[in-house]
Amino acid sequence: MSGKMAKDFRLFVKNAKQIVLVCKNGEKFLTKDGMQSLAVIENGSVVIGHDGLLKAVGSADSIESQFKGASFEKVLDASGMCVLPGLVDAHTHPVWAGDRVHEFAMKLAGASYMEVHEAGGGIHFTVGHTRSASPEKLLEALQGRLGRMLRAGSTLVECKSGYGLELETELKMLSVIQAARATQPVTISSTYCGAHAVPKGKTMEEATEDILSVQLPALREEVAKGNLQVDNIDVFCEKGVFDVDSTRRILKAGKDMGLNINFHGDELHPMNSGQLGAELGALAISHLEEVTDEGIRAMATAKTAAVLLPTTAYILRLRPPRARDMLDAGVIVALGSDFNPNAYCCSMPMVMHLACVIMHMSMPEALAAVTINAAYSLNRSHTHGSLEPGKQGDLLIINAPRWEHLIYQFGGHQELIRFVIIKGSVVYENESVMDY
């Protein structure tokens, strides 16, 4: 017993110059004009309870009078600073061994992503190293990467398997993700991506059969036993990888197991992924550099989110995805870092900056895309993605008088993010923040 009196609430963040709620009416996603005018409180405060949930957010005066006499475990004075929701990274491949810095040099010299892949590099290179890595080594690497993401403001991160391509290693990767849930603070949405590539020595048909009759049944069993929690199913639907029919069969089987469909489509070639996603009731499709007008319309109607990945287009010098056309059509646009050995980026502030500059998104659109819409793409917008009472108390405090500095200062988030808070606990405190 500490002898200390129990406090009424876990955290009080007071007097922030701005608090960006993102939305305030329980919206599950934002589209079109809704992404342009985010809910912002000038001079506000936030209270988070012992259950880690947001209890109140409002003007500093109203919170002050509402909580008069209440006690708090921690009080942070955010005068001159801005509060934003914890960022959501909707697409990452963070479990792997063996970097690919040598391939970056090849790509800079002109090799395409598929040329490297077909020559046995790319995903195949990472598969070789990941298969032989111990779970301990993979967990250590994953924890380090999640730590970097956290320090850049991400508090909910989607994490894929997909560097095993056979049962044993896919389960090893998912178990490592499961272990990370218990050993570090970032909330994880986990994705089975056994169809990330056709493994060497198998045809696409054989790989599809292996997934349907070996990997998915074993996965179902592990989930039923309570050994694993898996949220989403993913396939790399691409010419030379998994075609539309195989993709459909795998995604359907995953959906039948209760997984959310969230897959890679239309990255290098138009594959009619938008239409396929709409047909299957997919929650999200990532990449979409080559999506067609029809695909865009189908996604808007089906409310299938587009998870756009500006780092990939930037690094591979691809035509960037048509974010403006998707936004104008009313598609729910989200963003992800696509962290993987090809696109080594852990920072959603940098992703937002790239989205604004190379994909012509506005800053409010980019922030909506990494908060409420990214949460929607993971079926988490009831708990994440905005600062509304009842949601998880995840937030960032940045040392700047306007929230847009988080996007404007390219690569400057290390100097800007003062606190990262998850469930009302300070999980990262940066003493060395600079003046903006």
Ligand X SMILES: N=CN[C@@H](CCC(=O)O)C(=O)O
Nearer to ligand X, 130 or 430 (CB): 130
Stretch that binds ligand X, among 3-11, 54-62, 143-151, 339-347 (CB under 6 A): 339-347
Nearer to ligand X, 30 or 288 (CB): 288
342 lines the binding site for ligand X (CB under 6 A): yes
338 lines the binding site for ligand X (CB under 6 A): yes
Please enumerate, as own/partner, the contacts of 252-260 that have beta carbons within 8 Å and a separation of 24 or more: 252/280, 253/211, 253/212, 253/216, 254/192, 254/216, 255/280, 255/281, 257/216, 257/219, 257/220, 257/223, 257/233, 259/192, 259/230, 259/231, 259/232, 259/233, 260/231, 260/232, 260/233, 260/284, 260/378, 260/379
Distance between CA atoms of 188 and 157, rounded to whole angstroms?
Answer: 5
CA distances from 100 to 159, 161, 343, 344 (A): 19, 18, 10, 9
138 lines the binding site for ligand X (CB under 6 A): no
Nearer to ligand X, 11 or 116 (CB): 116
290 lines the binding site for ligand X (CB under 6 A): no
What are the phi and psi torsion angles at 75 (to 5°)?
A: -125, 130
Site for ligand X, residues 294 to 313, rule: CB under 6 A: 312
93 lines the binding site for ligand X (CB under 6 A): yes
Contact between 219 and 171 (Cβ < 8 Å):
yes
Nearer to ligand X, 260 or 262 (CB): 262
Phi-psi region of 226 (alpha: psi -120 to 50; beta: other; left: phi over 0): left
Number of chain residues interacting with ligand X (CB under 6 A): 13
377 lines the binding site for ligand X (CB under 6 A): no
Indicate which single residue of 264, 380, 413, 418 sits in contact with ligand X (rule: CB under 6 A).
264
Minimum CB–partner distance for residue 166 and ligand X (Å): 17
- The number of beta carbons lying within 10 Å of the beta carbon of residue 401 is 12
Q: Which residues pair with 45 in a beta bridge?
A: 58
Nearer to ligand X, 30 or 313 (CB): 313
124 lines the binding site for ligand X (CB under 6 A): no
230 lines the binding site for ligand X (CB under 6 A): no
Nearer to ligand X, 55 or 160 (CB): 160
123 lines the binding site for ligand X (CB under 6 A): yes
Location of structure tokens 């007008």: 293
Q: Can you give the binding site for ligand X, defined by CB under 6 A?
A: 93, 122-123, 126, 236, 264, 267, 312, 338, 340-343
